[in-house]
Amino acid sequence: MKPAVPPAPPTGMGRNNQPVLPKPILPNPVPPAEPPIPVEQTTTPNKLTQVKPVKKKRSRRSVKPWAWSVFCLSALGLVGGLGITAFLWLTNLPPLPDCRRISPLSADMERLYCAREAAQSGEANQLIAGVKLVQGWSSTHPLYPEAQELLNQWSAQLLAIAQTTAEESGLDRAVEIANQIPENSTSYANAQAAIAQWQADWKQGEAIFAKAQEALKQQRWNEAAAQVPALGRLENNYWRRDKASELTQQVLTEKAARERLKQALVLATTDEPDQLGQAIALVQTVNPKTYAWPEAEAVLKEWSQLLLTAGMQRWQQGDLTAAIALVHHVPLNLEMEPEARNLVRFSRAHKLATQHLNPYEPSVKEILSLMEAVAALRQIEPTSALYPQAQAKIDDWQSQVNDLAQLQYAHWTASLGQRITYEVAIGQAQRITSDRPQRIRAQTLVAHWGQQIQRIEDQPYLLVARAQAERGTVSALQQAIAAAQQVPLGRALRQEADLAIAQWSRQIQVIEDKPLLDKAQTLAQQGKLSEAIAAATEIQEGRALYEQAQTAIATWKAEIREAQIAQDRRILDEAASLAASTRLTLAIEKAAQIGAGRPLYGEAQAAIAQWEAERNAIWEAWENTPEADTSYSSESYSAEDDGYAE
């Protein structure tokens, strides 16, 4: 094994940042007999390190240069810190006063500061408090200049607030605020002038408004309405804008109230119970704040008493239904006998129980109305003669409340629109047995929800059918019809399926018959109307295009008829011209060219008959003439001899 070699010491840095080389390792180091002598180590390139002895000197330890820099910086920092601290201590303001703890015993400076802070809110009370604080300070007060400036500023703000108050809300508050402005304020004179102006405007506005009120009481509507523009001419916004608008609305309200009262008086003249009930209902719509209300209230009490009397008589006669109908419109706030009040309560409860009645869907309003009706009947005392009927109604309506609550829960469940929710809703509604008051509505809802389930089950058939029908071909439409026919008869969607089947069948007929109609129209455009009619006639009755084909056939027949009329008219005109020249035989032969079935056939036959009669008369006259040649007879008469008849 090789002898262990001690590791070389790491290379470091010596004094003055000079590199220190490691000492050479000698092969056999001998312990020094004397203390080591300090040496200077130098490095010479390409030479061995030389070790030279250094002479031992005794001298004082020198001071490092950077130590003086550190000392100077420390001293400068200490002096600067002391200076800054002293400056901050000298310039630091005393703490601000706590305005929450201010009192009359506090210093004027603190009170003025808090008043100024409070006045920044712009509220009248804070401004008034600030004014009261400084208005009594004399000119010798140290804070007088600042206080006087604030006093004028706050007074101007108070005057502005008072002006706004006078324009919007009222005179009293505006005058109260303006009177808080002291005499030593620059705004005092303006405030007093403003108060005088406000009071004058207010007095004028009150006079105009009072005149309008008197006119309204006397029902002089035009005079009352004339005060609106008078208010609009005032300077004050409160009267010009707010009160003018209020008076306009009041005139309309008063006129409406009087009109309703007149209508009610007309209805009540018949003394019929139904008419009285309508009159009471109309009077109750009169605004109680109108001048018409005292008169309306008087007739309301009178008519209500008449209905109460009639209702009590019917009730005593055993006709509770008629009694309830009579007192239906009687208000409960009128003075009446206890039993009459119970009858009115019974009538009101009956109205509540039926006002939101829905024969189909239950509603929360209906449940609440029934509960309110039950609460109204519970106010009828056991000593009342109506108590047994009230208890019977309470039991009935309470049962309806229970059933409606069950149906309402089922309705909410069904509203989710899923098959399972419909089934759950049906199960809940079927719990209402046939002896319950809401059984009919429950059965109706069960049937409806059953149809909804059928819709969910059969809807896929229609979806498939419509998807196939979108292609528009005959085969696709036939497939769509076959798919829609899978909806069974009697199901909820069967009617919708039948409508779709009819539509698709019509589309098939259109596709099949359209070529025939197109062919007929093409022939008609070519002038071949008879052939066009024959082609269109092939479209059979009951087909989709049958009506369209018949319309076209009628048009073409009319065109043929017009052409025949024009052609035959020329023939008739020629025949008539021949007949006019007594060539009757030729005229008859010409008119005979118009065959049967043509439009002018009847007219031609009538002309022929007339001309034949004329010709026969000529022949007969000729035969009876003595000078006539007996050898010349009607048989030998020809068309060329027609002119000889003259």
How many other C-beta atoms are found inside a 10 Å radius of the C-beta of residue 82? 10
Separation of alpha carbons 342 and 376, rounded Å: 10
pLDDT band (50, 70, 90) for residue 1: very low
Q: How far does the chain reach from its first CA to its final CA, in angstroms?
A: 182
Angle at 566 between CA 563 and CA 572, to 5 degrees: 140
- Do residues 7 and 22 touch, judged by C-beta distance below 8 A? no
320-338, pLDDT tens digit by residue?
788 888 787 788 777 777 8
β-pair type (12-13, 39-41): unpaired
Separation of alpha carbons 162 and 170, rounded Å: 10
Residues 6+ apart with CB under 8 A from 335: none
3-class state of residue 28 by DSSP: coil
Instruction: Provide, rounded to the nearest whole percent, the portion of the chain with pLDDT above 70.
Output: 78
β-strand partners of 20: 12
Separation of alpha carbons 355 and 370, rounded Å: 9
What's the pLDDT score for residue 248? Answer: 92
pLDDT at 81 over 80: no
54-71, pLDDT tens digit by residue?
444 444 445 456 666 766
Q: Where are the beta strands (DSSP E) in 56-169?
A: none
What's the pLDDT score for residue 214? Answer: 93
Does the pTM of the predicted model rise above 0.75?
Answer: no
22-43, pLDDT tens digit by residue?
443 434 444 444 444 444 444 4
Q: Which residue has the higher pLDDT, 94 or 581?
A: 581
The one-character DSSP state at 235 is S
565-613, pLDDT tens digit by residue?
888 889 989 988 988 888 888 989 988 988 888 888 898 899 999 998 8
Residue type at position 492: A
pLDDT band (50, 70, 90) for residue 562: confident
What's the pLDDT score for residue 260? Answer: 92
Average pLDDT, the chain: 78
476-529, pLDDT tens digit by residue?
999 999 999 999 998 888 999 999 999 999 999 899 889 989 998 999 888 888
pLDDT at 142 over 50: yes
β-strand partners of 12: 20
pLDDT band (50, 70, 90) for residue 103: low
pLDDT at 5 over 60: no
- Token pair of 185, please? 């304020």
What's the pLDDT score for residue 10? Answer: 43
Q: Which residue has the higher pLDDT, 273 or 470?
A: 470
311-320, pLDDT tens digit by residue?
888 777 777 7
pLDDT at 412 over 70: yes
451-468, pLDDT tens digit by residue?
999 999 889 999 999 999
Separation of alpha carbons 149 and 617, rounded Å: 139
Bin 236: left if φ > 0, else alpha if -120 < ψ < 50, else beta: beta
Average pLDDT over residues 625-631: 55
Separation of alpha carbons 177 and 126, rounded Å: 12
pLDDT at 134 over 90: no
- Do residues 306 and 276 touch, judged by C-beta distance below 8 A? yes
Q: Which residue has the higher pLDDT, 359 or 215?
A: 215
Residues composing the chain? 646
pLDDT band (50, 70, 90) for residue 280: confident
- Please say whether the dihedral angle defined by the alpha carbons of residues 488, 490, 492 and 498, taken in this order, is positive or negative: positive
Separation of alpha carbons 405 and 427, rounded Å: 15
Average pLDDT over residues 526-544: 89
Measured in degrees and rounded to the nearest 5, phi and psi for residue 611 equal -70, -35
3-state secondary structure 591-626: HCCCCCCCCCHHHHHHHHHHHHHHHHHHHHHHHCCC
β-strand partners of 51: 41
Highest mean pLDDT: which range of 18-32, 48-62, 189-203 = 189-203
- Greatest Cα pair distance, the chain, in angstroms, is 212
Measured in degrees and rounded to the nearest 5, phi and psi for residue 486 equal -75, -15
What's the pLDDT score for residue 420? Answer: 93
- Please say whether the dihedral angle defined by the alpha carbons of residues 626, 630, 635 and 638, taken in this order, is positive or negative: negative
Average pLDDT over residues 390-405: 90
Measured in degrees and rounded to the nearest 5, phi and psi for residue 52 equal -115, 145
pLDDT at 18 over 60: no
What's the pLDDT score for residue 250? Answer: 92
Burial of 112 (0-12, 13-18, 19+ CB in 10 A): buried
pLDDT at 138 over 90: no
542-555, pLDDT tens digit by residue?
888 899 999 999 99
